Chain A
Amino acid sequence: MPSIHLRDVCVDFPIYQAGARSLKKMLIAGTTHGNLARDAHDRVMVRALHDITMDVDNSDRIGLIGANGAGKTTLLKVLAGIYKPTQGRIHISGHTTALINSSVGLNQDATGRENIILRGLYMDIHPRDMRERIEQVAEFTELGSYLDMPVRTYSAGMMVRLAFAVSTCIRPEILILDEWLSAGDAHFLAKAQRRMEEFVTRSSILVLASHAFELIEEWCTRAVYLKNGLIEAIGPVDEVIDRYKESVSTND
């Protein structure tokens, strides 16, 4: 049974300014102040996530909302296992597929079909298995003869279709989506939602970050409102969205 548990998770990013990143500066700091460690402690840290505690259980569909820079993408990356929390604990069970960026793993000069195989690699799908599914994927994208064209001729929406079709062709237990999905048109979104419902009924978890409230309202069962790296609200979708709207309007 897939599940996600976070306890007091913090993520701090060290900021290496142009100079601070160089070895020279570190070595000079070492010789002039005689202390490398101090340089390490003096560096500027940005806390992207602060004490995040949440539990996501089987069949939960979580919508993540919040202003730009609230930590949505960082949280998705923590859930995907890309960033290891600098503090706190995390436990994820289940096979995870993350779609943070629709163009990752896409080779601009390769054709759509080649890219289906290539993107499959990044999703941990063997080319042999991918070739069996290629027609099914091709059909879902509705890209037709475009699949034999280089991907650089695609529009953003077409790339989203390709990426989504590949990523959902094996029904991951946990699917993590960043807001790029909204680049698709209404027809595609409806189709994507049908596929999503299909796989959520087979006990899976969805975490979706988006600014499009309609998408969250339609797709998600719970919502999380992030503000400055903290969880401001978590609960039923409409209540959390109301709370977000309220908070935005009072700030104005």
Chain B
Amino acid sequence: MIGPEIDRLIQLLAKLPGLGPRSARRVALHLIKRREGLMGPLAEALAAAASSIRTCSVCGNLDSHDPCFICTGAGRDPSLLCVVEDVGDLWALERTGAFRGRYHVLGGTLSALDGVGPDDLSIPGLLERASQPQVGEVILALNATVGGQTTAHYLSDRLAPCGVRISRLAHGVPVGGELDYLDDGTLTAALRSRRTL
């Protein structure tokens, strides 16, 4: 009933995060109906991205240039190095516009249950960068999870001989958060990290 090309398109779309077979069929139909206006440009954009995007050899970011635009950006503060788990976290921090330093993408966090050890992360590159004289502070922007914080403590130990200031993101009440709805752990962390007004 469905041709092999469409079937393959549906199968590939169903592999995207958040899409199952039903929604993949809907997306495929939407694309097919808009072949000229959407499907063609999308296919071109995908092909261009696939051929040009590479991993930055300095920080691990994804960009069409190596080193990436953040590592080569003139307006970036070279004394600040922000360590993130994944490129998605780097993008999230960039969206805020609040950080003007440089990044280092670890490529994961330590996980005893998933068998992820220090050798699986880009730690040697981080230590090398943190040892450079222009770096003054390393910010460990890792998730507030067991894996994220275990990694943060591990990195803090490894970075200690580099002689840089080591900091981490605050844990506590999110903007717009109501205390009544927060879990005990977040409230405890918020109380511990309270500031003088």
Partners in one complex: no
Interface residues of B, Cβ cutoff 8 Å to A = none
